[in-house]
Amino acid sequence: MVFLSPLPTFYRVYRKKSTEGFQSTPYLVTLFSCLLWMYYAFLKSGSELLLTINAVGCVIESLYIAMYLVYAPKSARLLTAKLFIGLDVGLFGLIALVTMLASYGPLRVQVVGWICVAVALGVFAAPLSIIRLVIRTKSVEFMPFSLSFFLVLSAVIWFAYGALKKDIFVAMPNVLGFLFGVAQMALYMAYRNKKPATVVLVHEEMKLPEHVKEVAGGAKPQGGAPTEGRISCGAEVHPIDVLPAVAVDEQAAGAADEDVIRDDQNMLRPEQPVVIKPDVAIVVQA
């Protein structure tokens, strides 16, 4: 049931043709754990149940990883492939080779057993990798409840099995597995009714003038132009060191025989070049 609990997740991946925010880490670590427990079961007599269930787990987890590689984006595929080669092929092969060459009999069983305990704890903790995402987004969309539930159930049953068989390597990791599973279930219950956090972007719109006039700095005043850079529309005049371009919002209006423009205060005047001195600028009130 633990191995089959991600089925709804991968059905969603298949239906949407995308892995969305799901990660491959839990499945890679679970496959690595299954390989090690199979190796342990080969070394320890009377462990047929460990051998059969982990063989089934290897097949199921391999199918999950293959489907993830099909639908994941390129960067996620590359990372998953590297982890698969490095962890499930490279590290497992190294552990098997070293323990076969450097240890014998009961000592080999002890060494492999402790390695299995460490990896089993990693398997139980693997789904915790998305806890940060759950807390940040306030959404449990990417942390299935079924997986946490069956991890807790599996931990209780395998602890009982290990205790009855007097196999400390089977019983010990399931104690922490139970605690990890309960923590994940508690997090799910806390955020299951929360609305996902959304990022709100605030856009400020500034209406730009349709026509822009650049006022040259060295021009001389002409007849009819406002003197000393003053204009009769209630604008403010401020002295400055460098003259910027002044944008004047204009709209063409009037008869064919006379060109007139409308300023920001709806006052009409004949179109004339606007000239101000280099030491002043006009700030037109909106």
3-state secondary structure of 213: strand
For residue 280, pLDDT beyond 80? no
The mean pLDDT of 53-73, rounded to a whole number, is 93
Considering only residues 255 and 62, tell me which one the structure prediction assigns the higher pLDDT.
62
- Show me where the domains of the chain are located: 1-102, 116-192
91 to 4, 12, 61, 105: CA distances (angstroms): 25, 31, 17, 22
Q: What are the tokens at 99?
A: 């323990």
Whole-number pLDDT of residue 19: 86
Candidates 3.50.50.60, 3.90.660.10, 3.40.50.1820, 1.20.1280.290; CATH matching 116-192: 1.20.1280.290
Query: In this structure, are residues 194 and 186 in contact, taking their beta carbons and an 8 Å threshold?
Result: no
- Those residues with Cβ within 8 angstroms of residue 244's Cβ, 6 or more apart along the chain or in another chain: 281
Give me the chain's average pLDDT, please.
74
The pLDDT of residue 126: 63
Q: Is the pLDDT of residue 46 over 70?
A: yes
80 pLDDT tier (thresholds 50, 70, 90): very high
Given a cut of 70, whether residue 193 has pLDDT beyond it is: yes
Query: In 11-96, at which residue ranges do the beta strands (DSSP E only) sit?
Result: none
User: What element of type H or E holds 78?
Assistant: helix 74-83
Element (H, E) at 280: strand 280-283
Which tens digits make up the pLDDT trace of 142-161?
676 777 788 789 889 999 99
Compute, in degrees rounded to 10, the torsion defined by CA atoms 215, 216, 217, 219. Answer: -110
Higher pLDDT, 10 or 180: 10
d(CA 264, CA 286): 7
Q: How many CA atoms lie within 13 A of 46 on its CB side?
A: 6
